[in-house]
Structure 1
Amino acid sequence: MPLFSDPALSTAPRRRRLEAPATSSEPLKDKALEVHRRLCGVYGCPIPYFHSLDPLSELISSLLSHRTRNADSGRAFKALRARWPDWNAVEEAEVAEIEETIRGVTWPELKAPRIKAVLSAVRARAGKLSLDFLETLSVDEARGWLEAIPGIGPKTSAAVLSFSTLRMPALPVDSHHHRVAQRTGLIGPKVDVGPSHAVLRAQLPDDWSAQALYDNHEVLMLHGQQVCFHRSPACGRCVLLDICPTGQARQAKATEGR
């Protein structure tokens, strides 16, 4: 159910923008902080933001990136911006034209109509094609507003708030981040990516800044990309090995097999 239906919400007073966390045990909180500390030592925090898009543009970029390599989704985003002057024109374009323009992404036949539908939903609910008003809301309110739109889930809503020029303290979780969290035992083996957002956020301090949460996402994602691979993770050179039950089990099995 939408949290807001009135376009006038863009004039609502600024609220506290912290995300209300779920509960988490103290040992897991301590472990999450230790994982963060070690990985920041490896990858270098604070990590610069990789781009500075307005929140609506970040939303479209995030929709294009689903199950798609960054290079391919980046090219598709640039192609949209080059073909049409603004998002109003994209909203009015034919689905076939959008699909042809973003053909380099995974499932362009699904993403093209979704982009049009999302743009129309933003206009209908906010009164115009802009998400700048989200800065006046709390993180929970802003995420609820976004996730009320079909096709927008926890990862996309968090990405819009964190990665865009809003720079709000939300924690996105991608597949690499999720894999590292599961293998280190921060989340259970049956916790999917969507539900993991609340669990992992609850393990971090309530008052962490947008930069700190962005760093947390980035270092876990980078570790998943560069060390904790989907297949054959490089456990022997992992700085988390002594606190990672999966890595320790893999190392023990490898030793037994010698």
Structure 2
Amino acid sequence: MSSLPLLPDLLSELAAKALRIHERLCTEYGCPIAFFHSHDALSELVSSLLSHRTRNASSGAAFRQLRTRFPTWEAVRDAPCAEVQDCISAVTWPEQKAPRIQQVLQRITVLRDGALSLDFLKTLPVREARDWLESLPGVGPKTSAATLLFSDLRMPALPVDSHHHRVAARLGLISENVPVGPAHALLEAQLPKDWDAQRVYDNHEVLMLHGQRCCFFRSPACTRCVVLDLCPTGQARLASARSPQASEPEPP
């Protein structure tokens, strides 16, 4: 499997499997899952940029500090870069993220004829809205999807984080050699086209939660996995552990 378009039969098979996994994980983790906040789209974009390779607690603290220091995003855009960097010092690479956030705010201002808002994205199809966001410096598939889905726009775009990606690869929904970026399109194509933002959010959340609570990066808890029968990686791992050869010492 690659990031190239899939044959219709294979896509249909994967979509059916993805739906079974979704339904079982939703039972396990309790869908629908409440959205964790309701930022406006511009605030969500900045929050997402801050969160890259940073723990949620640290990026959240940096976001709150930024909003406390500056009353508007226009003020952040026009502030000395050193002041912005000081506000977000809790995140990874603040020296890169501060100028990047200001570049993004400046670019939006230019593209929107002086208006610093992303509310207009609600009028666009999801794909067009994502393309518009991804034309901004430093904005990739995960950030564009998070901006549309997590914000008060509530548009059905699927973000894929590292936990989501790991679980999907182990389940065989994507190949393990597909990077996170291209995985967005592959995994989103497996979801029903008529799903609303809540169902797309649930899908993201349950796969992420499964990665955090069961399908760990090291030593996944396969024996208590509710989708083990759908997981070729887990089945192979347990079969290897049961194999007599696995416990026999090598001959001298």
TM-score normalized by the length of structure 1: 0.90
d(CA) in 2 for partners of 1:67 and 1:107? 9
State the match for 2:55 in structure 1. 69
Aligned partner of 1:52 in structure 2 is 38
- 3-state SS, counterpart of residue 53 of structure 1: coil
C-alpha RMSD of the superposition: 1.3
Q: Does 1:82 align with 2:68?
A: yes
Is 1:234 matched up with 2:221?
Answer: yes
Q: Distance in 1 between matches of 2:54 and 2:25?
A: 25
AA of the residue aligned to 2:158? L
The equivalent of 1:181 in structure 2 is 168
Give the drift of 1:250: 1.1
> Is 1:244 aligned to residue 234 of structure 2?
no
Alignment match, 1:137: 124
1:162-173 paired onto structure 2 within 5 Å: 162-173=149-160
Cα distance in 2 for residues equivalent to 1:221 and 1:95: 34
What displacement does 1:237 show? 1.0
Aligned residues: 238
Counterpart-to-counterpart distance in 2, 1:115 and 1:30: 40
Letter in 1 for 2:72: D
Once the two structures are TM-superposed, the CA of residue 44 in structure 1 deviates from its matched residue by 0.6
Q: Which amino acid aligns with 1:218?
A: E
How do 1:117-136 residues align onto structure 2 when only pairs under 5 Å count? 117-127=103-113, 128-136=115-123
- The alpha carbon displacement at 1:215 in A equals 0.5
1:119-141 per-position Cα deviation (integer Å, ceiling 9, x unaligned) = 10111111211000000100011
Cα drift, residue 79 of structure 1: 0.4
Residue 150 of structure 1 corresponds to 137
Determine the C-alpha separation between the residues in 1 that align with 2:211 and 2:107: 34
| Structure 1: segments with no counterpart, 5+ residues | 1-20
Which residue is 2:198 aligned to? 211
* One-letter code aligned to 1:124: V
Output the TM-score relative to the length of structure 2.
Answer: 0.92
Any runs of at least 4 consecutive aligned residues in structure 1 with deviations exceeding 3 A, and if so which? 21-24
How far apart are the structure 2 equivalents of 1:32 and 1:174?
A: 17
1:225 aligned partner: 212
Q: Which residue of 2 aligns with 1:110?
A: 96
**Amino acid in structure 2 at the alignment position of 1:92:** D
- Pick aligned residue for 1:41 from 22, 27, 40: 27
